[in-house]
Structure 1
Amino acid sequence: MNKAFTKETDGDEDEDGALPEIPAGTKNYITPQGYARLRAELLQLIDEERPKVVEVVHWAASNGDRSENGDYIYGKKRLREIDRRIRFLTKRLEIAEVADPALHHGSDQVFFGATVTYADETGEERTVTIKGIDEADHAHGEVSWISPIARALLKCRVGDVVKLVTPAGVHEVEILDVKYPAASAQA
Protein backbone atom coordinates (compact mmCIF):
# COMPACT_ATOMS: atom_id res chain seq x y z
CA MET A 1 0.00 0.00 0.00
CA ASN A 2 1.23 3.46 -0.82
CA LYS A 3 2.37 5.41 2.25
CA ALA A 4 0.28 8.38 1.09
CA PHE A 5 -2.87 6.47 1.95
CA THR A 6 -1.97 5.29 5.43
CA LYS A 7 -3.29 7.07 8.46
CA GLU A 8 -0.64 8.75 10.49
CA THR A 9 -1.19 9.43 14.15
CA ASP A 10 0.80 11.68 16.36
CA GLY A 11 0.68 9.11 19.15
CA ASP A 12 -1.81 11.01 21.26
CA GLU A 13 -5.05 9.41 20.12
CA ASP A 14 -5.70 7.44 23.30
CA GLU A 15 -4.42 9.35 26.27
CA ASP A 16 -7.66 9.19 28.25
CA GLY A 17 -5.72 7.16 30.81
CA ALA A 18 -3.30 10.01 31.52
CA LEU A 19 -4.50 10.14 35.11
CA PRO A 20 -4.39 7.08 37.35
CA GLU A 21 -6.97 4.42 36.68
CA ILE A 22 -9.71 3.95 39.24
CA PRO A 23 -9.19 0.64 41.05
CA ALA A 24 -11.61 -2.07 39.95
CA GLY A 25 -14.69 -2.36 42.12
CA THR A 26 -14.32 1.11 43.65
CA LYS A 27 -16.00 4.41 43.04
CA ASN A 28 -14.52 7.64 41.70
CA TYR A 29 -14.75 9.67 44.91
CA ILE A 30 -14.49 13.42 44.52
CA THR A 31 -15.19 16.44 46.73
CA PRO A 32 -18.03 18.81 45.82
CA GLN A 33 -15.43 21.49 44.99
CA GLY A 34 -13.49 19.07 42.77
CA TYR A 35 -16.65 18.04 40.97
CA ALA A 36 -17.60 21.68 40.39
CA ARG A 37 -14.10 22.46 39.07
CA LEU A 38 -14.16 19.54 36.59
CA ARG A 39 -17.69 20.41 35.49
CA ALA A 40 -16.71 24.06 34.97
CA GLU A 41 -13.73 22.96 32.86
CA LEU A 42 -15.99 20.72 30.75
CA LEU A 43 -18.53 23.48 30.18
CA GLN A 44 -15.79 25.99 29.34
CA LEU A 45 -14.34 23.60 26.74
CA ILE A 46 -17.75 22.90 25.20
CA ASP A 47 -19.21 26.42 25.31
CA GLU A 48 -16.17 28.63 24.74
CA GLU A 49 -12.90 27.07 23.65
CA ARG A 50 -14.13 24.47 21.16
CA PRO A 51 -16.39 26.89 19.20
CA LYS A 52 -13.48 29.37 18.89
CA VAL A 53 -11.13 26.70 17.54
CA VAL A 54 -13.82 25.39 15.16
CA GLU A 55 -14.22 28.94 13.82
CA VAL A 56 -10.46 29.26 13.23
CA VAL A 57 -10.30 25.86 11.51
CA HIS A 58 -13.29 26.74 9.33
CA TRP A 59 -11.68 30.06 8.34
CA ALA A 60 -8.32 28.35 7.67
CA ALA A 61 -9.98 25.64 5.56
CA SER A 62 -11.65 28.28 3.41
CA ASN A 63 -8.22 29.71 2.54
CA GLY A 64 -7.41 26.86 0.20
CA ASP A 65 -4.40 24.53 0.42
CA ARG A 66 -4.66 22.83 3.82
CA SER A 67 -1.39 20.88 3.62
CA GLU A 68 0.75 23.92 4.40
CA ASN A 69 -1.80 25.93 6.32
CA GLY A 70 -0.53 26.22 9.92
CA ASP A 71 -3.81 27.57 11.29
CA TYR A 72 -5.65 24.59 9.85
CA ILE A 73 -3.11 21.95 10.92
CA TYR A 74 -2.66 23.22 14.47
CA GLY A 75 -6.35 24.03 14.81
CA LYS A 76 -7.27 20.44 13.93
CA LYS A 77 -4.70 19.16 16.39
CA ARG A 78 -6.10 21.43 19.12
CA LEU A 79 -9.61 20.24 18.30
CA ARG A 80 -8.52 16.62 18.82
CA GLU A 81 -6.98 17.59 22.17
CA ILE A 82 -10.16 19.41 23.24
CA ASP A 83 -12.40 16.54 22.14
CA ARG A 84 -10.19 14.03 23.98
CA ARG A 85 -10.38 16.11 27.18
CA ILE A 86 -14.16 16.49 26.79
CA ARG A 87 -14.54 12.69 26.48
CA PHE A 88 -12.30 12.14 29.50
CA LEU A 89 -14.13 14.69 31.68
CA THR A 90 -17.53 13.38 30.61
CA LYS A 91 -16.59 9.80 31.52
CA ARG A 92 -15.10 10.82 34.88
CA LEU A 93 -18.04 13.03 35.86
CA GLU A 94 -20.53 10.29 34.91
CA ILE A 95 -18.95 7.87 37.38
CA ALA A 96 -18.08 10.44 40.05
CA GLU A 97 -19.28 9.81 43.57
CA VAL A 98 -19.42 13.17 45.35
CA ALA A 99 -18.39 12.78 48.99
CA ASP A 100 -18.65 15.86 51.18
CA PRO A 101 -15.86 15.87 53.79
CA ALA A 102 -17.77 18.46 55.83
CA LEU A 103 -20.06 15.65 57.01
CA HIS A 104 -17.19 14.44 59.21
CA HIS A 105 -16.40 17.88 60.68
CA GLY A 106 -15.23 17.46 64.27
CA SER A 107 -14.32 13.79 63.87
CA ASP A 108 -10.87 12.48 64.83
CA GLN A 109 -11.09 9.54 62.42
CA VAL A 110 -9.59 9.74 58.91
CA PHE A 111 -12.05 9.55 56.04
CA PHE A 112 -12.07 10.88 52.48
CA GLY A 113 -11.51 14.65 52.47
CA ALA A 114 -9.60 14.79 55.76
CA THR A 115 -6.58 17.00 56.27
CA VAL A 116 -4.20 14.85 58.27
CA THR A 117 -1.04 15.88 60.09
CA TYR A 118 1.28 12.98 60.82
CA ALA A 119 4.84 12.46 62.01
CA ASP A 120 7.27 9.91 60.61
CA GLU A 121 9.88 7.95 62.56
CA THR A 122 12.31 10.90 62.50
CA GLY A 123 9.69 13.21 64.00
CA GLU A 124 9.24 15.17 60.78
CA GLU A 125 5.65 16.38 60.50
CA ARG A 126 3.73 16.45 57.25
CA THR A 127 0.21 17.49 56.40
CA VAL A 128 -1.81 16.03 53.55
CA THR A 129 -5.40 16.37 52.39
CA ILE A 130 -7.00 13.23 50.99
CA LYS A 131 -8.78 14.07 47.73
CA GLY A 132 -10.14 12.35 44.64
CA ILE A 133 -7.96 10.92 41.88
CA ASP A 134 -8.89 13.70 39.46
CA GLU A 135 -8.42 16.58 41.88
CA ALA A 136 -5.38 15.73 44.02
CA ASP A 137 -2.47 18.15 43.59
CA HIS A 138 0.71 17.00 45.30
CA ALA A 139 2.22 20.50 45.04
CA HIS A 140 -0.53 21.73 47.37
CA GLY A 141 -0.26 18.87 49.86
CA GLU A 142 -3.16 16.93 48.37
CA VAL A 143 -2.94 13.19 47.82
CA SER A 144 -5.26 10.81 46.03
CA TRP A 145 -7.31 8.49 48.21
CA ILE A 146 -5.66 5.55 46.41
CA SER A 147 -2.12 6.70 47.27
CA PRO A 148 -0.14 4.56 49.74
CA ILE A 149 -0.15 7.23 52.46
CA ALA A 150 -3.90 7.80 52.15
CA ARG A 151 -4.64 4.08 52.22
CA ALA A 152 -2.51 3.71 55.35
CA LEU A 153 -4.25 6.63 57.08
CA LEU A 154 -7.88 5.92 56.15
CA LYS A 155 -10.11 4.83 59.04
CA CYS A 156 -7.40 5.48 61.64
CA ARG A 157 -7.73 7.97 64.49
CA VAL A 158 -5.61 10.63 66.13
CA GLY A 159 -2.86 8.92 68.14
CA ASP A 160 -2.78 5.77 66.00
CA VAL A 161 0.57 4.57 64.68
CA VAL A 162 0.24 3.01 61.23
CA LYS A 163 2.62 1.17 58.96
CA LEU A 164 3.33 2.82 55.62
CA VAL A 165 4.73 0.51 52.96
CA THR A 166 7.00 2.35 50.50
CA PRO A 167 9.59 1.23 47.96
CA ALA A 168 12.24 2.18 50.55
CA GLY A 169 10.69 -0.15 53.13
CA VAL A 170 8.08 -0.11 55.87
CA HIS A 171 7.84 3.07 57.94
CA GLU A 172 5.70 3.94 60.92
CA VAL A 173 3.78 7.19 61.03
CA GLU A 174 1.77 8.61 63.91
CA ILE A 175 -1.42 10.54 63.26
CA LEU A 176 -1.23 13.84 65.13
CA ASP A 177 -4.28 15.75 63.91
CA VAL A 178 -7.33 15.28 61.69
CA LYS A 179 -9.39 18.19 60.36
CA TYR A 180 -12.36 18.52 58.06
CA PRO A 181 -13.80 21.66 56.48
CA ALA A 182 -16.81 23.14 58.19
CA ALA A 183 -20.15 22.78 56.44
CA SER A 184 -20.81 25.68 54.10
CA ALA A 185 -23.73 28.02 54.65
CA GLN A 186 -25.07 27.11 51.19
CA ALA A 187 -26.11 23.60 52.25
Structure 2
Amino acid sequence: MVKPTNIVWHDSEVTKEHRRLQKGHKSAIIWFTGLSGSGKSTISVALEKALYTKGFHTYRLDGDNVRHGLNNNLGFSPDDRSENIRRIGEVAKLMVDAGLFTLTAFISPYLEDRNQVRNLVEQDEFIEIYVKASLDTCEQRDPKGLYKKARLGEIKSFTGIDAPYEEPDRAEIVIDTNQLGIDESVEVIMAYLRENRYIS
Protein backbone atom coordinates (compact mmCIF):
# COMPACT_ATOMS: atom_id res chain seq x y z
CA MET A 1 0.00 0.00 0.00
CA VAL A 2 1.36 3.43 -0.99
CA LYS A 3 1.12 5.95 1.83
CA PRO A 4 -0.18 9.42 0.92
CA THR A 5 2.36 12.22 1.24
CA ASN A 6 0.00 15.20 1.49
CA ILE A 7 -1.15 14.66 5.10
CA VAL A 8 -0.21 17.29 7.71
CA TRP A 9 -0.81 17.03 11.47
CA HIS A 10 -3.13 19.79 12.72
CA ASP A 11 -2.38 20.85 16.31
CA SER A 12 -5.08 21.77 18.80
CA GLU A 13 -4.93 24.72 21.18
CA VAL A 14 -6.10 22.36 23.94
CA THR A 15 -3.18 20.10 24.84
CA LYS A 16 -2.81 16.84 26.72
CA GLU A 17 -1.47 18.83 29.68
CA HIS A 18 -4.61 21.02 29.66
CA ARG A 19 -6.83 17.93 29.69
CA ARG A 20 -4.85 16.36 32.53
CA LEU A 21 -5.14 19.55 34.58
CA GLN A 22 -8.88 19.60 33.98
CA LYS A 23 -9.22 15.98 35.09
CA GLY A 24 -6.78 16.22 37.98
CA HIS A 25 -4.65 13.20 37.14
CA LYS A 26 -2.13 11.84 34.67
CA SER A 27 -3.15 9.71 31.72
CA ALA A 28 -1.62 6.44 30.57
CA ILE A 29 -2.20 3.15 28.80
CA ILE A 30 -2.65 0.34 31.31
CA TRP A 31 -1.95 -2.68 29.11
CA PHE A 32 -3.07 -6.09 30.40
CA THR A 33 -1.46 -9.05 28.63
CA GLY A 34 -1.60 -12.78 29.32
CA LEU A 35 -3.12 -16.05 28.20
CA SER A 36 -6.83 -16.46 27.61
CA GLY A 37 -8.38 -17.22 30.99
CA SER A 38 -5.57 -15.61 32.98
CA GLY A 39 -7.90 -12.91 34.33
CA LYS A 40 -7.04 -9.88 32.17
CA SER A 41 -10.59 -8.77 31.39
CA THR A 42 -11.91 -9.53 34.87
CA ILE A 43 -9.17 -7.50 36.59
CA SER A 44 -9.42 -4.65 34.07
CA VAL A 45 -13.17 -4.36 34.71
CA ALA A 46 -12.59 -4.28 38.48
CA LEU A 47 -9.75 -1.75 38.14
CA GLU A 48 -11.85 0.53 35.95
CA LYS A 49 -14.63 0.48 38.55
CA ALA A 50 -12.14 1.27 41.34
CA LEU A 51 -10.68 4.21 39.39
CA TYR A 52 -14.11 5.51 38.38
CA THR A 53 -15.38 5.30 41.96
CA LYS A 54 -12.51 7.56 43.03
CA GLY A 55 -13.29 10.10 40.32
CA PHE A 56 -10.61 9.20 37.76
CA HIS A 57 -11.43 9.28 34.04
CA THR A 58 -11.08 5.97 32.23
CA TYR A 59 -12.00 3.95 29.19
CA ARG A 60 -11.56 0.20 28.76
CA LEU A 61 -10.74 -1.56 25.48
CA ASP A 62 -11.32 -5.31 25.55
CA GLY A 63 -10.10 -7.79 22.93
CA ASP A 64 -13.45 -9.37 22.08
CA ASN A 65 -15.31 -6.05 22.24
CA VAL A 66 -12.99 -4.36 19.77
CA ARG A 67 -13.32 -7.25 17.33
CA HIS A 68 -17.07 -6.55 17.15
CA GLY A 69 -16.40 -3.22 15.45
CA LEU A 70 -13.06 -1.55 14.78
CA ASN A 71 -11.25 -4.82 14.11
CA ASN A 72 -14.10 -7.00 12.81
CA ASN A 73 -12.22 -7.55 9.54
CA LEU A 74 -9.25 -9.23 11.24
CA GLY A 75 -8.67 -12.92 11.91
CA PHE A 76 -6.08 -14.62 14.11
CA SER A 77 -3.13 -15.10 11.77
CA PRO A 78 0.16 -13.63 13.04
CA ASP A 79 -0.23 -10.66 10.67
CA ASP A 80 -3.82 -10.03 11.74
CA ARG A 81 -2.90 -10.29 15.41
CA SER A 82 -0.17 -7.69 14.89
CA GLU A 83 -2.54 -5.37 13.01
CA ASN A 84 -5.11 -5.81 15.78
CA ILE A 85 -2.60 -4.59 18.36
CA ARG A 86 -1.31 -1.79 16.11
CA ARG A 87 -4.82 -0.36 15.74
CA ILE A 88 -5.51 -0.66 19.46
CA GLY A 89 -2.22 1.07 20.21
CA GLU A 90 -3.15 4.01 18.01
CA VAL A 91 -6.60 4.30 19.61
CA ALA A 92 -5.10 4.06 23.11
CA LYS A 93 -2.56 6.77 22.23
CA LEU A 94 -5.41 9.12 21.27
CA MET A 95 -7.15 8.38 24.56
CA VAL A 96 -3.97 9.17 26.52
CA ASP A 97 -3.87 12.50 24.66
CA ALA A 98 -7.50 13.00 25.74
CA GLY A 99 -6.38 12.67 29.37
CA LEU A 100 -7.78 9.22 30.13
CA PHE A 101 -6.50 6.10 31.80
CA THR A 102 -6.95 3.65 28.94
CA LEU A 103 -7.24 0.06 30.13
CA THR A 104 -6.59 -2.53 27.44
CA ALA A 105 -7.13 -6.27 27.91
CA PHE A 106 -5.60 -8.22 25.03
CA ILE A 107 -3.69 -11.49 24.86
CA SER A 108 -1.23 -9.56 22.64
CA PRO A 109 1.08 -12.58 22.39
CA TYR A 110 4.08 -10.96 20.67
CA LEU A 111 6.77 -8.91 22.43
CA GLU A 112 7.42 -6.83 19.34
CA ASP A 113 3.79 -5.76 19.04
CA ARG A 114 3.54 -4.72 22.69
CA ASN A 115 6.83 -2.84 22.47
CA GLN A 116 5.62 -0.99 19.39
CA VAL A 117 2.64 0.26 21.40
CA ARG A 118 4.98 1.20 24.27
CA ASN A 119 7.03 3.26 21.82
CA LEU A 120 3.97 5.18 20.58
CA VAL A 121 3.72 7.13 23.83
CA GLU A 122 6.03 8.81 26.31
CA GLN A 123 8.09 6.69 28.68
CA ASP A 124 5.72 6.98 31.66
CA GLU A 125 2.54 6.59 29.62
CA PHE A 126 2.64 2.81 29.14
CA ILE A 127 2.13 0.48 32.08
CA GLU A 128 2.40 -3.17 31.07
CA ILE A 129 0.67 -5.61 33.41
CA TYR A 130 1.47 -9.27 32.88
CA VAL A 131 -1.49 -11.24 34.18
CA LYS A 132 0.29 -14.51 34.80
CA ALA A 133 -1.35 -17.89 35.16
CA SER A 134 -0.17 -21.34 34.17
CA LEU A 135 -1.59 -22.94 31.05
CA ASP A 136 -3.08 -25.67 33.27
CA THR A 137 -4.88 -23.06 35.35
CA CYS A 138 -6.20 -21.24 32.29
CA GLU A 139 -7.44 -24.51 30.78
CA GLN A 140 -9.20 -25.42 34.02
CA ARG A 141 -10.92 -22.01 34.10
CA ASP A 142 -11.67 -21.94 30.34
CA PRO A 143 -14.49 -19.37 30.83
CA LYS A 144 -15.42 -19.27 27.13
CA GLY A 145 -14.79 -22.95 26.35
CA LEU A 146 -12.03 -21.98 23.92
CA TYR A 147 -9.33 -24.31 25.22
CA LYS A 148 -11.64 -27.28 24.86
CA LYS A 149 -12.35 -26.31 21.25
CA ALA A 150 -8.66 -25.76 20.58
CA ARG A 151 -7.76 -29.19 21.99
CA LEU A 152 -10.43 -30.72 19.74
CA GLY A 153 -8.95 -28.94 16.73
CA GLU A 154 -12.02 -26.75 16.27
CA ILE A 155 -9.96 -23.57 16.76
CA LYS A 156 -6.62 -23.22 15.01
CA SER A 157 -3.68 -21.01 16.02
CA PHE A 158 -4.90 -20.70 19.61
CA THR A 159 -2.40 -18.96 21.89
CA GLY A 160 -0.77 -21.36 24.34
CA ILE A 161 -1.88 -24.46 22.40
CA ASP A 162 -0.64 -24.22 18.82
CA ALA A 163 0.39 -20.56 18.72
CA PRO A 164 3.07 -18.94 20.89
CA TYR A 165 2.80 -16.52 23.79
CA GLU A 166 5.91 -14.44 24.47
CA GLU A 167 6.11 -13.41 28.11
CA PRO A 168 6.88 -9.74 28.84
CA ASP A 169 10.52 -8.96 29.47
CA ARG A 170 9.98 -5.60 31.19
CA ALA A 171 6.45 -5.51 32.59
CA GLU A 172 5.89 -2.78 35.16
CA ILE A 173 3.59 -5.08 37.14
CA VAL A 174 3.24 -8.87 37.29
CA ILE A 175 -0.03 -10.22 38.72
CA ASP A 176 0.04 -13.95 39.43
CA THR A 177 -3.61 -14.98 39.46
CA ASN A 178 -2.65 -18.42 40.73
CA GLN A 179 -1.89 -16.55 43.97
CA LEU A 180 -3.93 -13.33 43.99
CA GLY A 181 -7.68 -12.76 43.81
CA ILE A 182 -9.40 -9.92 41.96
CA ASP A 183 -9.48 -7.43 44.85
CA GLU A 184 -5.85 -8.10 45.75
CA SER A 185 -4.81 -7.69 42.12
CA VAL A 186 -6.61 -4.35 41.87
CA GLU A 187 -4.95 -3.12 45.05
CA VAL A 188 -1.49 -4.00 43.69
CA ILE A 189 -2.20 -1.88 40.61
CA MET A 190 -3.73 1.00 42.59
CA ALA A 191 -0.69 1.01 44.88
CA TYR A 192 1.60 1.23 41.83
CA LEU A 193 -0.42 4.16 40.46
CA ARG A 194 -0.24 5.97 43.80
CA GLU A 195 3.45 5.30 44.38
CA ASN A 196 4.33 6.53 40.89
CA ARG A 197 2.09 9.59 41.21
CA TYR A 198 -0.38 8.78 38.46
CA ILE A 199 -3.13 9.31 41.02
CA SER A 200 -3.25 10.96 44.42
TM bucket normalised to smaller: under 0.3
Going by fraction, where is strand more abundant, 1 or 2? 1
**Larger RCO (CA within 8 A; separation ≥ 6):** 2
**Structure 1 length normalisation: TM-score?**
0.23
